[in-house]
């Protein structure tokens, strides 16, 4: 498994690579614009070239982009939905330009309306995005904790979206450990993961699972609380992460931390060290 984390691009795109190296990340996730505002990314050709150089010389990769937090493709608000579509079209373009693996995002929520209506709206939005973004980068739908009618708290939501989009090959999934745990999917032992990933495979297909967010959970199992904790300090714990990082179906994936950090400054070397220490060394004979 590749271990990395979300890092800031403050000061320039290439600074993200530097920050990744500083925390010993194999791979990094970034926002190309501040996630709390509707801004279009506006990086110069020079900044992009510097980023690509730094990426190549560092060996860091893959790069995953994360969509704005404001995005809601399930909303009844037409203007909000349109802004969400525009933002994701722009970010897919940035993913192509930066040689990233795609754009991961939370689909949104259907609020007080029927689930079917929300899913139909989201599917329409995604269809629009994939038509307008004529590059090759995929969208990664993220599993959510399932609070407040959010789309993605059940694997069925994502499966239905993919189905409605004629199983487009540009749709992939990013699985967040904090979110699935809070959503009520057992994932703390190999046997529990076998069952949960079996259900994922049956509904969505494991071939679409291309990235992981590794976060411990402050909230209890099934609480639907989306509150990230440092690795080993939450309800998933080190034993849970040992099962996760060594699971044969997950081992080949890039993983990204979105944890508060030991010093409160986000993903850090210590969280990565904790994860790497849990990886079983296959070459060492079992004692
Ligand atoms: Zn996440
Ligand atoms: Zn989260």
By three-state DSSP, how is residue 155 classified?
Answer: helix
Starting from the CA of residue 219, give the closest ligand.
2
- What is the C-alpha separation between 182 and 148, in angstroms, rounded? 13
pLDDT of the chain, 287 residues: tens digit per residue: 999 999 999 999 999 999 999 999 999 999 999 888 898 889 999 999 999 999 999 999 999 999 998 999 999 999 999 999 999 999 999 999 999 999 999 999 998 889 999 999 999 999 999 999 999 999 999 999 999 889 999 999 999 999 999 999 999 999 999 999 999 999 999 999 999 999 999 999 999 999 999 999 999 999 999 999 999 999 999 999 999 999 999 999 999 999 999 999 999 999 999 999 999 976 555 55
Q: What per-residue confidence (pLDDT) applies to 148?
A: 84
Is the distance from CB of 30 to CB of 65 less than 8 angstroms? yes
CA 173–ligand 1 middle distance (angstroms) = 11
Residue 28 Cα distances to 105, 114, 199, 250, angstroms: 15, 36, 28, 18
Integer angstrom CA distances of residue 261 from 132, 183, 267: 37, 23, 5
Structural domain contains residue 105: yes
Q: Ligand 1 centroid to 247 CA: how many Å?
A: 19
- Distance, CA 287 to ligand 2 centroid (Å)? 38
Is the peptide bond preceding residue 62 cis, with omega within 30 degrees of 0? yes
CB–CB of 62/103 below 8 Å? no
Whose atoms come closest to the Cα of 29: which ligand?
A: 1
Give the number of domains in the chain: 1
Q: 84 C-alpha to center of ligand 2: Å?
A: 19
Please list all protein residues whose beta carbon sits less than 5 angstroms from ligand 2, which is an ion: 226
In a domain, 283, yes or no: no
CA of 99 to the centre of ligand 1 (A): 21
Q: How far is the CA of 207 from the centre of ligand 2 (A)?
A: 23
> Which structural domain range is residue 195 located in?
2-277
Distance 144 CA to ligand 2 centre (A): 7
Residue 12 lies in a domain: yes
Say which ligand is closest to the CA of 178. 2
DSSP letter for each residue of 45-105: HHHHHHHHHHHHHHT---EEEE--TT--SS-S-HHHHHHHHHHHHHHHHHHHHTT-S-EEE
| d(CA 286, ligand 1 centre) in Å | 34
CATH code for the domain in which residue 22 is found: 3.20.20.150
Please write down the HEC assignment for all residues of 107-137.
CCECCCCCHHHHHHHHHHHHHHHHHHCCCCC
- pTM, entire model: 0.96
Q: Report if residue 242 sits inside a domain.
A: yes
Cα–chain center distance at 32: 15
Specify if 282 maps to a domain.
no
163 in any annotated domain: yes
Contact 254, 215 (CB under 8 A): no
Residue 269 counted as domain residue: yes
What is the 178 CA–ligand 2 centroid distance (Å)?
A: 7
C-beta of residue 30 within 8 angstroms of C-beta of residue 16? yes
């Amino acid at each position: 498994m590749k271990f990395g984390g979300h890092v800031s691009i403050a000061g320039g795109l290439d600074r993200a690579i530097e920050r990744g190296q500083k925390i010993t990340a194999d791979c990094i996730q970034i926002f190309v614009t501040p996630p709390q505002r509707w801004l279009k990314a506006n990086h110069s050709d020079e900044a992009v070239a510097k980023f690509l150089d730094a990426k190549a010389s560092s060996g860091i990769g893959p790069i995953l982009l994360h969509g704005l937090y404001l995005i809601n493709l399930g909303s009844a608000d037409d203007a909000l939905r349109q802004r969400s579509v525009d933002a994701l079209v722009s970010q897919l373009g940035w993913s192509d330009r930066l040689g990233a693996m795609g754009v991961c995002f939370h689909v949104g929520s259907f609020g007080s309306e029927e689930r079917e209506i929300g899913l139909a709206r989201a599917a329409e939005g995604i269809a629009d995005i994939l038509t307008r973004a004529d590059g090759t980068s995929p969208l990664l739908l993220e599993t959510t904790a399932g609070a407040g009618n959010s789309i993605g708290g059940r694997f069925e939501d994502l499966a239905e979206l993919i189905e409605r989009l004629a199983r487009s090959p540009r749709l992939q999934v990013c699985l967040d450990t904090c979110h699935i745990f809070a959503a009520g999917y057992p994932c703390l032992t190999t046997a529990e993961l076998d069952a949960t990933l079996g259900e994922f495979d049956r509904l969505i297909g494991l071939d679409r699972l291309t990235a992981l967010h590794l976060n411990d959970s402050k909230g209890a199992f099934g609480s639907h609380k989306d509150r990230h904790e440092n690795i080993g300090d939450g309800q998933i714990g080190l034993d849970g992460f040992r099962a996760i990082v060594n699971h044969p179906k997950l081992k080949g994936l890039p993983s990204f931390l979105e944890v508060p950090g030991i010093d409160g400054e986000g993903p850090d070397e210590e969280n990565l060290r904790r994860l790497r220490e849990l990886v079983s060394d296959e070459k060492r004979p079992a004692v």
